[in-house]
């Protein structure tokens, strides 16, 4: 199987059991503060999948979703093994792929803040994960909690799941322990913990519903990499103008591999800094700037731009964040960045880059398509 064919084309939503903790109310039909059901929100996040499987406990549960899914190509499945939680749903779904060694993205119906970025970030890692022999990829949030029902799985897990079902061991975490599982840091992918909110009780549902109108919007985060003088700044300038022309907002974070000074020689804040101030700040009614002598990580900076539609990071070429690399023929025709989550090479070179997608250097349309449609 080639890397190209390893793209994840299928997804599955596990509809759950009898929703006993919700008083029998099906969780997938619950609505947010804007009247959108869990299921509709999740199907929207998975809209790039060629096929979406819906794993249900029984035929009655499938009948409830007919109107919700009438505009999308969804395939209903009834759990092969009953009353064994999400492990049974996963087993049912993987049975559909038993003759194909293909990834499938799997989530549960009670994860209403699923986003395209959560799905896409794992898919970008799937080819390398396959070559390294992994059976599944799942997220770990900033608090250290692992989320097995937001991940990629392969049919190679079927024998392990069959054995667990035989011994009535239905814990998803035990499956991860028994398999070759790649744990992915959601923070490094720019995914906030709020995206993993899980609703299991009426009280939790009411709290979430009351706050869902004010949930932080999904951001696209993209690193612009390249060696010195490759044209990163010029490309970012063009991209910023186009983003603004599309009515969107963007923030830029520049990573400097060396130390730097943020104040100009002769300014008051520069003098205060030279005199020993650990931090200086200047502000007016229109802008502010802070210069502090302390360590800060990228995630803290990203959190400070929560209102931006797009965050562009200049540099960070060894990070696992989604990235593009600028490669200009007059400078170099080789890649310098870490291959993890490399979306494309923006270049004027004729060279092939190991099958990585190439975008033209002279315009930003392909990048805009990725930011606003991908």
Torsion of CA 23, 24, 27, 30, to 10 degrees: -70
Token readout for 2 is 């080639």
Which of 24-28, 115-119, 192-196 is predicted least confidently?
24-28
In angstroms, rounded to a whole number, what is the distance separating the alpha carbons of residues 330 and 325?
15
Q: What is the pLDDT of residue 326?
A: 93
Q: What is the pLDDT of residue 104?
A: 95
Is the pLDDT at 306 greater than 90, yes or no? Answer: no
Q: Phi first, then psi: give them for residue 76, nearest 5 degrees.
A: -80, 140
- In 3D, which of 107, 343, 374, 337 has the Cα closest to residue 220? 374
**pLDDT tens figures, 225-247:** 999 888 888 999 999 888 887 76
Token readout for 230 is 């490759």
pLDDT tier, 172 (very low <50, low <70, confident <90, very high otherwise): very high
In angstroms, rounded to a whole number, what is the distance separating the alpha carbons of residues 141 and 29?
26
Residue count (the chain):
374
**pLDDT tens figures, 97-140:** 988 888 999 998 888 888 888 888 898 899 899 999 999 999 99
Average pLDDT over residues 338-343: 84
Token readout for 23 is 């008083």
Token readout for 280 is 């200086």
Average pLDDT over residues 164-174: 95
Instruction: Select, from the ranges 130-139, 206-215, 294-303, the one with the highest average predicted confidence (pLDDT).
Output: 130-139
**pLDDT tens figures, 37-84:** 778 888 888 888 888 999 888 887 777 776 666 656 688 888 889 889
| Cα-trace Rg, the chain | 23
Q: Phi first, then psi: give them for residue 255, nearest 5 degrees.
A: -95, 130
Token readout for 348 is 């004027």
**How many other β-carbons are positioned within 10 Å of the β-carbon of residue 132?**
9
- In 3D, which of 232, 221, 245 has the Cα closest to residue 311? 221
Following DSSP, what letter does each residue of 175-236 receive, concatenated?
Answer: HHHHS-EEEEETGGGT--GGGG----SHHHHHHHHHHGGGPPPP-EEEEEE-STTSSHHHHH
Q: Which residue has the higher pLDDT, 253 or 32?
A: 253
Is the pLDDT at 258 greater than 50, yes or no? Answer: yes
- Residue 137 belongs to what H/E stretch? strand 136-140
Q: Residue 12: beta bridge partners?
A: 53, 106
């Amino acid at each position: 199987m080639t890397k190209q064919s390893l793209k994840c084309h299928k997804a599955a939503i596990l509809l759950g059991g009898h929703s006993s903790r919700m008083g029998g109310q099906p969780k997938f039909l619950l609505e947010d503060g804007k009247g959108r059901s869990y299921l509709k929100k999740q199907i929207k996040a998975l809209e790039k999948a060629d096929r979406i499987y819906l794993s249900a406990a029984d035929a009655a549960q499938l009948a409830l979703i007919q109107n919700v899914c009438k505009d999308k190509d969804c395939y209903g499945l009834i759990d092969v093994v009953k009353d064994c939680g999400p492990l049974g749903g996963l087993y049912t779904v993987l049975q559909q792929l038993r003759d194909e060694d293909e990834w499938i993205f799997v989530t549960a119906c009670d994860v209403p803040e699923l986003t395209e970025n959560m799905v896409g970030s794992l898919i970008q890692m799937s080819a390398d994960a396959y070559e390294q022999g992994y059976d599944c990829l799942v997220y770990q949030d900033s608090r250290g909690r692992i989320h097995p029902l937001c991940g990629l799985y392969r049919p190679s897990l079927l024998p392990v799941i069959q054995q667990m079902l035989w011994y009535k061991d239905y814990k998803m975490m035990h499956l991860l322990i028994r398999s070759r599982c790649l744990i992915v840091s959601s923070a490094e992918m720019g995914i906030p913990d709020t995206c993993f909110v899980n609703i299991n009780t009426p009280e939790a549902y009411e709290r979430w519903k009351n706050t869902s109108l004010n949930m932080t919007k999904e951001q696209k985060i993209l690193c612009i990499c390249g060696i010195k003088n490759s044209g990163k700044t010029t490309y970012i300038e063009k991209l910023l103008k186009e983003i603004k022309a599309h009515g969107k907002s963007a923030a830029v974070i520049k990573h400097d591999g060396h130390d730097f000074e943020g104040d100009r020689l002769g300014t008051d804040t520069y003098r205060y800094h030279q005199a020993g101030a650990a931090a200086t700040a200047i502000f007016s009614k229109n802008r502010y700037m802070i210069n502090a002598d302390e360590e800060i990580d990228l995630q803290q900076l990203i959190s400070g731009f929560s209102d931006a539609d797009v965050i562009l990071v200049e540099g960070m070429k060894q990070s696992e964040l989604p990235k593009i690399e600028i490669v200009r023929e007059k400078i170099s025709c080789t890649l310098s960045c870490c291959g993890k989550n490399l979306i494309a090479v923006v270049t004027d070179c004729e060279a092939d880059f190991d099958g990585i997608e190439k975008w033209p250097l002279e315009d930003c349309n392909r990048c805009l398509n990725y930011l606003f449609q991908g």
